[in-house]
Amino acid sequence: MTTTPGHPPRLLPWQHDGKPCYLSTDGGPDSYVSRLADEMEAVQLDMGTEVFEGARAVLDDPASTPSQLRYAGLRLAECLVDAKRVAESRGARITAPQECAGTRRDDRGPSLPAEAFG
């Protein structure tokens, strides 16, 4: 896979033959495929919410059959895989924050003078 300087490959929210798909583009987050991937991620997360609500109803109903429970579990697993891929993709695109005035490099949070505490 070739990469574009300044724009590392983006994990896309779909697979091909069970393998992850990546996007390498000069257009960065404003490219057509990047915007399409953003829309697909939003759809996947919305579908996950809907599946969760439906599965919750099945799980809460003591009269649910084993096949209904299995179906709900399979759909939840599919949605979890999608949500995990979205999280991985978005996490990989988070840039390290620039060091701000008043923060320490050791990540213990902002440093304030003792006078600030009264």
pLDDT per position as a tens digit, 44-59: 999 999 999 999 999 9
pLDDT per position as a tens digit, 84-115: 999 999 998 887 666 555 555 555 666 677 77
Amino acid at 116: A
Residues 6 or more apart from 10 whose CB is under 8 A from it? 22, 23, 24, 34, 37, 89, 92, 93
Residue 32 above 70 pLDDT? Answer: yes
Residues 6 or more apart from 112 whose CB is under 8 A from it? 102
* Chain mean pLDDT for the chain: 84
Please tell me the pTM assigned to this model.
0.69
